[in-house]
Chain A
Amino acid sequence: MEQQREAGTLGMWVFLITEIMFFGGLFMAYTLYRSMNAEGFAAASHQLDVKLGAINTVVLIASSFTMAMAVYGSQTGKRQLLLVCLILTMIFGAAFLGIKAVEYNTKFEHHLFPGAGFKWESPEHDPRLAQPARMFFWIYFAMTSLHALHMIIGLGVMAVIFYYAWRGRYSPEYHAPVEVSGLYWHFVDIVWIFLFPLLYLIGSHLH
């Protein structure tokens, strides 16, 4: 059992570093295009709702906390704690997605989705920066939707874990799936920890 747990954890960590490289391609594109278009990116980022972004950051960090507590519950045999914390984690995750949906909706309404209907016009916006702004929004949508997809998968995983926890499958002797799912969840949180300042806060100094 111990060797299986060790193998499971190692396997999840190896998988997580593939995820680092997967997201890494987008971080690479971000790094390049932001360096090229600092002004345009700042102006575009300024269009994002920083408050919502900040709330989402807090929500995700809280969900990581409850996830850690859920693992703690499974390690110490506290079934009630495990179940409650799993539920809370899922609620926070769902809240995050809900807020994200609201944000996306606003962006579509303001014609900021970088498709055919993209509009970046004076007088509110500097037309010189239309192209870099469009690039920013492409990267914004690509990164946050990839992240959201991982969140959705995470919620699915949590639902499965909750089901088995409800059925009493986990104990101090066997709780590896809870730990391993926790690792995945924390990773998704870490991606957002980087996304928030990089996407939302670069235009904050503009007033």
Chain B
Amino acid sequence: MAAETIHTSPRVHYINANYGWKSWLFTRDHKRIALLYLASVTLFFFLGGAYAVALRLELLTPQGDLVSAETYNKLFTAHGILMVFFFLIPAIPAVLGNFLVPLMIGARDLAFPRINLLSWYIYMVGGLFTLYALIAGGVDTGWTFYTPYSSAFSNTHVLAVGIGIFITGFSSILTGLNFIVTIHTMRAPGMTWFRLPLFIWSHYATSLIMILGTPVIAITVLLVALERILKIGLFDPALGGDPVLFQHLFWFYSHPAVYIMILPSMGVISELVSNMTRKQIFGYKFVAFASIAIAVFGFLVWGHHLFTSSQSIYAGMIFSILSYAVSVPSAIKVFNWTATLYKGSISYQTPMLYAFGFIGLFLIGGMTGLFLAALGLDVHVHDTYFVVAHFHYIMVGGTVMGYLGGMHYWWPKISGRMYPEGWGRFSALVIFVGFNLTFFPQFIAGYMGMPRRYYAYAPDFQVLNVMSTAGASILGVGYLIPMVYFIWSMRYGPVAAANPWPSPSLEWQTSSPPPTENFEETPIVTWEAYQFDEQMMASSQRSAVSDELPASG
């Protein structure tokens, strides 16, 4: 790509429009709020990662010799809570979604900018509450805080963490609400539903889940907290309560929550695959509807987390069939991305490497999900490392890959600078190798019977665990490198063009970085999504507000 053309950033854009901490902490600009979230989720990601390092270190040896059993429980609980609630659920929607949704639909901002800022504050308050609890001594219930242990017996800071999660849930709800209203009411003229980028469809589907599911975890956490304080027995069998009711309520949210984690990432992948193959996504409408289908079907399968509880066998069978059904729209997406690659003009730049990583790793994660959806098989592997490997393939191999791919792809738009391509590809490779080395052995260990959440294990599993820990260290290094070069690029990276890839999508038809009001004039959309024809691309480069020097004229 262009070493010949020198670009200059626009004189005034959203980052330098105002200075001072007040202009950031009281901003209503969705782009600045996205950056606030970026800082927060990155912090929580590395904190959650630190806990993972600690527990992987313990697992180097079969004996429990690094930490006590109670401490180990606190380690994996903290890792789960921080990663699930404070990284995976908010990351793509609150960072990339907040930044891009108005830009992609041609709007000036989200429908409710102040509520957007409020959602970040709520997230921070919940996060700080939870951090306080973790520092004050932590929680040992697992991130799933099953009752009656969490509601009656645990001596750890369940209440504080519960409050933290309760508060943070509202951040999710408000974000989802904002996206839904924005996408319905603020699309630019000519931006019909089927001209929307698939990134928007994914975020719309994600928002549906956010608003319908999160309130249920909120009330559930509240009830557990009240049970701890007042010692009343909604979930306590000694008082006539039912712990399985807790599991039903908990997983009613927490299963759709995993779709909150993966759908935005799938949206990113659609953008990356189409752009880096210079092609319309194969079966656009199928992919769009598949997103909605995942959101809807995702609410019907939670019982597969209760296969080994006293849930009735017949309900289990229904949930099992439904769990197979929910895999279909995901599979449709994978097929369609793959079909898009066929006869595409593929460029192997960093975002594409992450997209390839996603497709392969999500495939493995998804297929192993089918193993788990089979009642009989699940009984064998439930609560083993097989499950742990499955969900890490999806969440790390899927979501985090998509997140990183998206961060690289949109970095020029967000910061006005390019990241160093060589380092980008290198770290993508390091992450891919590190990831597989960490988690593939866990499939084997789990299938052979190693239970999860144990700090000591039978010596037969040691080789696999050592491989896993070695992989984790490589993975950790892989994550640190982009941190470094992204920060480096903000000052020393080459200035990016308005539309470096280039793409017909609306966010690229304005300068990099964009002005605060996003577009000088409201765009009027006359082209289809992913329309990569030459004429379109030529006109899009002319209309983009970029101060390209010489050559093009």
What is A's interface to B at a CB cutoff of 8 Å?
3, 6-7, 10-11, 14-15, 17-26, 28-29, 32-33, 37, 114-116, 131-132, 134-135, 138-139, 142
Asked whether B239 lies within 8 Å of A135 as measured between CB atoms, the reply is yes
Asked whether B240 lies within 8 Å of A37 as measured between CB atoms, the reply is yes
Chain A interface: which of B22-30, B210-218, B350-358?
Answer: B210-218
Q: Which of B178, B216, B223, B230 contacts A24 (CB 8 A)?
A: B216
Which B163-190 residues have a C-beta within 8 angstroms of A?
Answer: 173, 176-178, 180-181, 184-186
**What 5 A-B pairs come out closest when comparing CB atoms?**
A25-B219, A22-B215, A21-B215, A131-B240, A18-B215
Set of chain A residues within 8 Å of B249, measured between Cβ atoms: 25, 28-29
Which B405-420 residues have a C-beta within 8 angstroms of A?
Answer: none
Known: A11-B177, A14-B180, A29-B234. A3 touches B215 (CB 8 A): no
Set of chain A residues within 8 Å of B234, measured between Cβ atoms: 29, 135, 138-139
B545 proximal to A (CB < 8 A): no
Q: Which of B181, B214, B216, B232 contacts A11 (CB 8 A)?
A: B181
Bound CA–CA A19/B180 (angstroms) = 16
Known: A22-B215, A24-B216, A135-B233. A6 touches B173 (CB 8 A): no
User: Shortest beta-carbon distance, A125 to chain B, in Å?
Assistant: 16
Contact with A along B188-218 (1 / 0, CB 8 A): 0000000000000000000000011111101
Contact with A along B112-125 (1 / 0, CB 8 A): 10000000000000
Bound CA–CA A134/B236 (angstroms) = 13
Asked whether A135 lies within 8 Å of B241 as measured between CB atoms, the reply is yes
Interface size, chain B (Cβ < 8 Å): 34
Given contacts A7-B186, A14-B177, A21-B215, 16 further A-B contacts (CB under 8 A): A3-B185, A14-B181, A15-B177, A17-B212, A18-B173, A18-B212, A21-B216, A22-B218, A24-B219, A25-B215, A26-B219, A33-B240, A114-B230, A115-B232, A134-B232, A138-B233
Closest to B235 in A: A29
B245 proximal to A (CB < 8 A): yes
Asked whether B239 lies within 8 Å of A24 as measured between CB atoms, the reply is no
Set of chain B residues within 8 Å of A11, measured between Cβ atoms: 111-112, 177-178, 181
Which B228-255 residues have a C-beta within 8 angstroms of A?
Answer: 230-234, 239-242, 245, 248-249
Bound CA–CA A26/B211 (angstroms) = 17
Closest to B112 in A: A11
Known: A21-B216, A29-B234, A134-B233. A7 touches B245 (CB 8 A): no
Known: A21-B215, A132-B240, A142-B226. A116 touches B177 (CB 8 A): no
Contact with A along B87-111 (1 / 0, CB 8 A): 0000000000000000000000001
A-B contact pairs, 7 of them (CB 8 A): A7-B186, A11-B112, A21-B216, A25-B215, A32-B242, A135-B239, A135-B241
Known: A7-B185, A18-B214, A22-B219. A138 touches B232 (CB 8 A): yes
Known: A11-B112, A18-B212, A21-B216. A131 touches B173 (CB 8 A): no
Closest to A28 in B: B249
B141 proximal to A (CB < 8 A): no
B511 proximal to A (CB < 8 A): no
Set of chain B residues within 8 Å of A18, measured between Cβ atoms: 173, 177, 211-212, 214-215
Asked whether B239 lies within 8 Å of A134 as measured between CB atoms, the reply is yes
Asked whether A19 lies within 8 Å of B177 as measured between CB atoms, the reply is no
Asked whether A114 lies within 8 Å of B232 as measured between CB atoms, the reply is yes
B277 proximal to A (CB < 8 A): no
- Select the residue from B184, B233, B234 with max chain A CB neighbours within 10 A: B234
Closest to B212 in A: A21
Bound CA–CA A32/B230 (angstroms) = 21
Set of chain A residues within 8 Å of B323, measured between Cβ atoms: none
B220 proximal to A (CB < 8 A): yes
Closest to A37 in B: B240
Set of chain A residues within 8 Å of B245, measured between Cβ atoms: 28-29, 32
Set of chain B residues within 8 Å of A37, measured between Cβ atoms: 240
User: Shortest beta-carbon distance, B249 to chain A, in Å?
Assistant: 6
Bound CA–CA A114/B229 (angstroms) = 12
Known: A11-B111, A18-B173, A138-B234. A25 touches B241 (CB 8 A): no
Closest to B238 in A: A131
